[in-house]
Amino acid sequence: MAQLVVRNIEIAVKTRLQRRARRHGLSMEEEVRDILRNAVTEEDRPAAGLGTEIASLFVRAGLDSEIPELHGRDIKPISFDL
């Protein structure tokens, strides 16, 4: 197994890691290993498209109907002429 030494961690961060480890019933070292494992696992997931990311922000907005797609439609720029 590889070893990783992290220096200069703020005392508040170390304290929060200790509390988190205690809540999970782990040593602080095992808790940090879990955090690191989860962090690199998330990177392996493919990123969603921009539209999917934006839609996820508004998932609880209460929209009940589908929004029609614009694929294949002519989109005309807005005119600001008075």
Q: What does the alpha-carbon distance between residue 67 and residue 54 come to, in Å, rounded to a whole number?
A: 14
Write down the pLDDT at residue 45. 66
Alpha-carbon separation of residue 11 from 2, 16, 25, 33, 77 (angstroms): 25, 9, 21, 19, 56
What is the model's pLDDT at position 44?
A: 67
pLDDT of residue 57: 82
Which residue type does 11 have? I
pLDDT for the residue 62: 75
pLDDT at 40: 85
pLDDT beneath 50, residues of the chain: none
CA 68 and chain centroid, separation: 28
Cβ count within 10 A of residue 31:
19
Give this prediction's pTM: 0.51
Q: Look at residue 76 in the predicted model and tell me its pLDDT.
A: 83
